Structures are given as C-alpha cells and as structure tokens.
Amino acid sequence: MDLFAVLVAAALAAFALPSQAAGPSPNQIKRLVTFGDSYSDVVLAGDNGTAWPIWTSIYGNFTLYPFARAGATCSQDLTPRIFPPVFQSQLPTYLAEAANHSISVPPEETVYTLWIGTNDVGVGELIDGQQNPGVTLVDTVQCQMDWITTLYKTGARNFVLQNMLNLQDVVLYQADSWPNKYWTAERNTTEWHIFMTELVASANKLAELMLKDLAPTLPGAHVGLFDSHKLFTDIYTNPSKYLNGTVPFNVTVPISSCVYPLNSNISAVTPVCTNVEGPAQDSYMWFDELHPSQQSDRVLARELTAGIKRQSSEFLTWLT
C-alpha cells in the first residue's frame, strides 16, 4: 500500500471513531445525585421501606445526595402542587449546597438522575385537566430536558433520565380501580385507564426523541435513558424473574390496600384495609395503589447500577 493510500485509510478510520465513548467508564462514577418525586424520596419513601436511591448507592458504592421529594412535579409553572417541585425547590437546594461545598460533586465522578412525571400526568393535573392553562404533555417533558441543560450549565456532565413506568397498571389507574386514599370521587375508571396508557406512552416517546435531539448539543456530556417502563412492564409480565417472596406473585393488588367509601373525606372515615406482612411482601410488585414495592425498587436499583457501571443492563441506554 502506498503512502497516499495509508493516509486515506487513517483519515477514514479517524472519522469513523467517535470523539467520545457513549457513557462513563465502568469505574468512573462515585457520586449519585437524585431528583424526582415519592418514587425516589429517601425520607418519605413511596415503597414504605428503603428507597431505590439508597439501594443503588449500596450496590454501586456511590456517595448519595438525594434531592427528590414526595408529591413533586417538574415545575410549579406547569403543574402546580403544594409539594417541592424540581425547578422551584429541588434544583435551588442542590445548587445552594453545591455552592457552599456542603456536598462534593466533581463533574467527572458524579451522575445525576431524574425520575419525574407521575404527578405531572396524574390526579390533580393532566389526567383531570387541572394543570395551568395551556400546559400540555409536551411542556412537562420539555421541563425534563431543561433540568439537564440547567445542570449542564453549572458543570454537571453525566445524566440519566428515567422514563415513566406503566402507570396504567397501578391500582389508581386500573380499569377496575376502587376508591382509595389517592382518589375517592366518582370517575370513569376505564376512561382513566385508557387515558393514562396514552399519556405514559406519549410522554415516554417524547422524552426519547427530545433526549436524542438534546444529547449531541452538550459537548463532553454523557446522557443516558433508563427505560423504567420496559423494566416494570417486564416485572408485570414475568414476575418470577424479579419477585422472590414467600407467597404467590401478585402484580395487581398491592401490599397495602385500602378501600374508602365513594366520595368520602379520607380524614373523616375509616377505610377497609388489607396489609401483607413479613417476607411475603417481596412477592408483590406494588406497595400501595400508586407506588412500587421495595422489591421492585431493589430490582430497579440493581439494573440502574449495572447500567451506570457499564455492566450488563438492557434498560439503560447511553446516547452519548
């Protein structure tokens, strides 16, 4: 091969190689910073046990900085609630702590996760039309992209966006749902089930497309998409792969189940409740009418850790 041919081959090979590998290196990440709602809150844990960020920090040997808060939406400007939202509370708290060095977040060693949307699309917001006027599903998903760009501008470089799980399968949005602590008013449960199925599918596809569009515009960043929907759908369909309790697997009725009188004031009535105790809890996919069980959260933590550490995981895809 002559010199010219060698130079051409070398040039083509250089263009073929990416300037940066997708995802952090296997042992790069040492710190985990989490944002979101009750699915990720480590204090008011939605699973009534140990929340998945703590399991992830244990499995991955990560230092954990948790900022997710129960009841949160992405932004009060879109879907206002009385709970601490990502943009008006969680991000400012993080930025203040990072600025005063009460937390240590070296960019190359820190990964940031966001799992939000359950309350944005849920009761009191999109599903029953109580979002701010003119706000659509597109806006709530764009808010998640804005979370990435906001952190990127402060120096953050490793991001994982967790999409929404199969909310249509939690009791609150099942077609045969009952009056529970999250909703006692009359409703068309079949309509809610169908609408939630569409909301989740649309939001997740929007998030995927928006993330693929955003990722290449962030030089030096690693951006990943964790497919919570795929994981929890697989738990729902194939529980024997993931659940390991002492009773038959259950993916429809939760560990803690309470039936309220229709149109009741939940603070003024005594519901009829059923609670599973002990090791049998690990046979259940859901903790209550809205939240995953601790066993489901352990599974999520295991898969997310594997993806962050670049081990085998079919649920985390690094785009850059």
- What domains lie within the chain, and their CATH numbers? 25-238+293-312 (3.40.50.1110)
Whether the per-residue pLDDT at 9 is higher than 60: the answer is no
pTM for the whole thing? 0.92
Q: What is the pLDDT of residues 164-218, one digit of tens each?
A: 999 999 999 999 999 999 999 999 999 999 999 999 999 999 999 999 999 999 9
pLDDT category at 66 given cuts 50, 70, 90 is very high
Tokens of 75: 């932004």
For 102, counting Cβ atoms within 10 Å of its Cβ (0-12 exposed, 13-18 middle, 19+ buried), the class is exposed
Q: Kindly report the average pLDDT of the chain as a whole number.
A: 93
pLDDT for 20 equals 55
* Contacts with 185 (C-beta within 8 Å, 6 or more apart), sequence order: 179, 262, 263
Amino acid 21: pLDDT:
72
- Give whole-number Cα distances, 162 to 121, 144, 182, 282, in Å: 15, 10, 23, 23
pLDDT digits (tens, 9 = 90+) for 28-55: 999 999 999 999 999 999 999 999 999 9
